Amino acid sequence: MSTSKTKNKKQRILEAKNVDQLLDVQFGKIGTKSRDEFEEKAQYFVISEMLKEARKEANLTQEQLANKVGTKKSYISRLENGKCDIQLSTLYRIFETGLGRRVNILIG
């Protein structure tokens, strides 16, 4: 990135008035490929943190949770670290069967 572009980006970051403006500067406007990629990674991170927290609150190890839902510990680990995709049916099974949590999905 050229020096003038770097200064311009830094200036826009300093001038940002809210998180949305910061995200626009860093990852592009909503609907751009780079922003869509960021949003997808952010959602995986949120799901992985929710899974990890719920498992710990249930006082289960990754291996215990895996056994309850019929999968492998390594899969639970990868999910908790945001390293793999998860099917909706698997998400439901882990949270509802394995952790006794209800899953609600909001599409906005």
Domain coordinates of the chain in residue numbers?
45-108
Say how far apart CA 38 and CA 27 lie, in whole Å: 7
- The rounded percent of the chain whose pLDDT value lies above 90 is 64
User: What's the pLDDT at 2?
Assistant: 60
- Tell me the average pLDDT of the chain: 90
For the cut 70, the answer to whether the pLDDT of residue 34 exceeds it is yes
User: What's the pLDDT at 72?
Assistant: 95
**Burial of 51 per CB tally in 10 Å (0-12, 13-18, 19+):** buried
Superfamily of domain 45-108: lambda repressor-like DNA-binding domains (1.10.260.40)
* DSSP result, 26-39: HH-STTSHHHHHHH
Inter-residue contact 66 to 75 (CB < 8 Å): yes
